[in-house]
């Protein structure tokens, strides 16, 4: 069978197959993900809770989607929320083999004077010149919010707190935290120390994802160091058994802050409340956001990584079609009862011309709901599509010219 006959046969087969549901994502695709069974009448979605903080949000951990928020990119002071980045940097440096959990960390006079028991801030009451395991100090910083532990860790990891702050900023840049600047390891007020609610959530998501063992420490309700027992200031750990972190913060300028996370039935949410008026209000608002999120949103896996979402015609190639799809699985979170209303569109070049290599970006998948774009992901070639020989390219060039006439 010659090449022309093969192409005509393939075209006929494609035309017949276009009637089948399996080719919903064909050359002019309008894919609609298949919904999970649900009641015929969707549950109405009430208004979100009223949150007092100057900046706040609710984020889905799995997708990074911000489900609710206010002033999410406004610059705010983080107070001890900055210690989440300190925790991330220490965990990353441990994973890289630069420091170890059993390292003996000395409490310098600087750490003692600026973060010790004689200060007004949170402290682990560590004696000057005493030495402690790095892992124990990390626990003290996370659970007790010890400023002395934070400074000592920074000095051990980077030589000085100033050098450690530069590491914090480097990791922030790597994580895409474009609205943050770190100047110390504690979160104590400084002109060059600021963040955003979005960046706090991005950091919390990264800590949970990248260093789950370090994140697990944030669920500890109390810790004893040097015979002194202190309780975790995250009161949600006592209120809600699904909450397993993350960190509180407070200064006069920053107000009362809380980043929290909880997991229910396989879905994890992150809340950030910055600039609240009291410990109780930051906890109440965070709890309300978590309850609302779990009650009125649902997560769905839409497409698998490497799955062919479409096989568009490719011209001037030794093959007739090219399978395209996503590099990684795609999950999305939507309000309950809205799943069937998701619309998906594949934006592909017309015409698609060879060559193409496996993994090459070919087009874009866009998912929308109620006219608003929810997600955009690059479509990649799932296989190679080398150029055809001279005759094949010439024939396709002639066909393209006929079709464009």
Q: What is the pLDDT of residues 337-360, one digit of tens each?
A: 899 899 999 999 989 999 999 999
Residue 299: partners with Cβ closer than 8 Å, 6 or more residues away: 60, 62, 63, 266, 267, 331, 332, 333
394 annotated active-site: no
CA distances from 283 to 16, 61, 151 (A): 59, 19, 27
Single residue among 276, 297, 318 that ends a domain in this structure: 297
Same domain? 334 vs 371: yes
Task: Say which residue the tokens 């002109």 belong to.
Answer: 191
What pLDDT is stored for residue 19 in this prediction?
Answer: 25
* Number of domains into which the chain is organized: 2
Q: Are 258 and 276 within 8 A, CB to CB? A: yes
160 annotated active-site: no
- Asked which of 168-182, 201-215, 295-309 is least confident by mean pLDDT, the reply is 295-309
Same domain? 316 vs 238: no
Q: Are 356 and 385 within 8 A, CB to CB? A: yes
Residue 99: partners with Cβ closer than 8 Å, 6 or more residues away: 90, 93, 134, 156, 157
- The pLDDT > 90 percentage for the chain reads 77
338 assigned to some structural domain? yes
Q: Which of 80, 180, 276, 310 is catalytic?
A: 80
315 assigned to some structural domain? yes
What pLDDT is stored for residue 13 in this prediction?
Answer: 32
83 annotated active-site: yes
pLDDT per residue as tens digits for the range 70-115: 999 999 999 999 999 999 999 999 999 999 999 999 999 999 999 9
Same domain? 372 vs 281: no
SS3 letters for 10-48?
HHHHHHHHCCCHHHCCCCCCCCCCCCCCCCCCCCCCCCC
Same domain? 215 vs 68: yes
Same domain? 215 vs 100: yes
Same domain? 374 vs 338: yes
Single residue among 244, 268, 297 that ends a domain in this structure: 297
41 assigned to some structural domain? no
Same domain? 314 vs 292: no
48 assigned to some structural domain? no
Q: Which of 83, 235, 276, 316 is catalytic?
A: 83
pLDDT per residue as tens digits for the range 294-330: 999 999 989 999 999 999 999 888 999 999 999 999 9
Same domain? 147 vs 106: yes
Tell me the residue range of the domain where 335 lies. 3-14+21-31+309-404
Q: Are 201 and 60 within 8 A, CB to CB? A: no
Residue 143: partners with Cβ closer than 8 Å, 6 or more residues away: 217, 218, 220, 222, 223, 230, 232
270 assigned to some structural domain? yes
What pLDDT is stored for residue 401 in this prediction?
Answer: 84
Same domain? 251 vs 398: no
| CA gap 28, 30 in Å, rounded | 7
| CA gap 112, 127 in Å, rounded | 7
pTM of the shown model: 0.83
The secondary structure of residue 240, as a DSSP letter, is -
Q: Count the Cβ atoms, other than its own, within 10 Å of residue 111.
A: 28
110 assigned to some structural domain? yes
Q: Round the average pLDDT of the chain to a whole number and report it.
A: 88
| CA gap 274, 198 in Å, rounded | 11
Same domain? 359 vs 290: no
Bigger pLDDT: 295 or 399?
A: 295
pLDDT-derived band of residue 53, with 50, 70 and 90 as boundaries?
very high
Q: Which of 87, 122, 124, 145 is catalytic?
A: 145
CATH value at residue 68: 3.40.710.10
What pLDDT is stored for residue 37 in this prediction?
Answer: 46
| CA gap 365, 378 in Å, rounded | 6
Same domain? 164 vs 257: yes
- The pLDDT > 70 percentage for the chain reads 89
Single residue among 255, 273, 297 that ends a domain in this structure: 297
The secondary structure of residue 328, as a DSSP letter, is S
Same domain? 99 vs 216: yes
């Amino acid at each position: 069978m010659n090449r022309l006959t093969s192409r005509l046969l393939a075209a006929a087969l494609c035309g017949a197959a276009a009637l089948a549901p399996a080719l919903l994502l064909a050359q002019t695709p309008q894919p609609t993900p298949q919904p999970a069974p649900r009641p015929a009448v969707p549950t109405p979605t009430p208004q979100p809770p009223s949150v007092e903080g100057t900046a706040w949000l609710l984020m889905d951990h799995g997708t990074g989607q911000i489900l609710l928020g206010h002033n999410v990119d406004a610059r705010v002071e983080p107070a001890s929320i900055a210690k989440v980045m300190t925790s991330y940097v220490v965990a990353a440096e441990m994973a890289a083999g630069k420091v170890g959990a059993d390292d003996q960390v000395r409490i310098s006079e600087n750490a003692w004077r600026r973060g010790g028991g004689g200060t007004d801030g949170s402290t682990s009451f560590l004696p000057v010149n005493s030495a402690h395991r790095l892992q124990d100090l990390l626990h003290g910083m996370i659970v007790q919010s010890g400023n002395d532990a934070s400074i000592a860790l920074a000095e051990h990891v980077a030589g000085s707190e100033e050098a450690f702050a530069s590491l914090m900023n480097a990791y922030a840049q790597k994580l895409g935290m474009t609205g943050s600047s770190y100047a110390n390891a504690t979160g104590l007020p400084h002109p060059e120390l600021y963040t955003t609610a979005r960046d706090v959530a991005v950091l919390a998501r990264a800590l949970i994802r990248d260093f789950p063992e370090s994140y697990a420490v944030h669920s500890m309700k109390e810790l004893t160091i040097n015979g002194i027992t202190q309780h975790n200031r995250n009161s949600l750990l006592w209120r809600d058994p699904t909450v397993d972190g993350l960190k509180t913060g407070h200064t006069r300028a920053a107000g009362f802050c809380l980043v929290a996370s909880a997991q229910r039935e396989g879905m994890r949410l992150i809340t950030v409340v910055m600039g609240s008026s009291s410990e109780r209000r930051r906890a109440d608002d965070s709890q309300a956001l978590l309850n609302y999120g779990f009650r009125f949103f649902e997560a769905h896996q839409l497409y698998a990584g490497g799955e062919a979402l479409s096989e568009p015609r490719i011209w001037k190639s030794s093959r007739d079609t090219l399978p395209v799809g996503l590099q990684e699985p795609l999950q999305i979170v939507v309000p309950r009862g809205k799943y069937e209303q998701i619309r998906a569109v594949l934006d592909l070049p017309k015409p698609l011309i060879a060559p193409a290599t496996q993994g090459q970006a070919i087009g874009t998948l866009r998912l929308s709901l109620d006219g608003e774009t929810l997600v955009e992901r690059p479509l990649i070639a799932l296989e190679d599509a080398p150029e055809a020989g001279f005759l094949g390219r010439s024939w396709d060039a002639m066909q393209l010219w006929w079709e464009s006439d």
